[in-house]
Amino acid sequence: MELAGKVALVTGASRGMGEAIALKLASLGCKVVVNYVAIEASNKVDAGNLVENIINLGGEAMSVEADVRDSETVKGMVEQVTDKWSKIDILVNNAGINRDTLLLRMSDDAWDDVINTNLRGAYLCTKFALRSMMRQEWGRIINISSVSGIVGNIGQSNYAASKGGLIAFTKSVAREMGSRNITVNAVAPGYIITGMTDKLPSETKEAILAMIPLQRFGQPEDVAELVAFLATDRAGYITGQAITIDGGLFP
């Protein structure tokens, strides 16, 4: 129970990597806030099931619906958490979407939706959560970026821009918050088995798999283990870093 008593807010936590991260943090003793947005009715159900699962395993959890793109909604979410548990110790900015297409075919909405969710969302959640961390002079912020934000990818100019921007955001906030004992790091996953990768054609999956030295796609739990480590005191001297977790795809 290395993180016993800590309060962790995980955005976009109703499924996929967010769900795995929430479960891992709960297993280490965190009180977990499961954020979701009800774009799909199933998101609310999934968030509720996750909270129930954590509680059944002996942990504490709550779900909060909030669109991370909206300033007032994010502010309200943070207030709801601090009203219940008095603080936020750990923030995992995991909420993200993709709208893949070649740049010349990309609509303004496809660009704006991805940038606003992936980058603006992290900015808003970080800004409001930092106030609690600064008061207690301890905090962990882990931003879920992507290898696309480091090396780029065809058909993902919007996604890569948002994830690359998130890395630059990470490094800047780490410099601002270091004196307050608040670390800020980014995790850059490669191809992880989630709803996003499930949509890839089988021939594309086979071609990608052939390029990965470990010869497998990552599991959400692989990412969750790294996030959990960065949230602990064992990672207390690591800040401003973008750590890839991609099976050796981009060494």
Query: Which amino acids are annotated catalytic?
Result: 159
Owner of token pair 């969750």: 224
Q: What is the distance between the alpha carbons of residues 50 and 38, in angstroms, rounded to a whole number? A: 15
Beta bridge partners of 65: 36
Of the candidates 72, 19, 15, the residue with the CA atom closest to the CA atom of residue 39: 15
Of the candidates 143, 139, 149, 232, the residue with the CA atom closest to the CA atom of residue 187: 143
Residue 116 backbone phi and psi in degrees, to 5: -65, -40
Owner of token pair 């692989």: 222
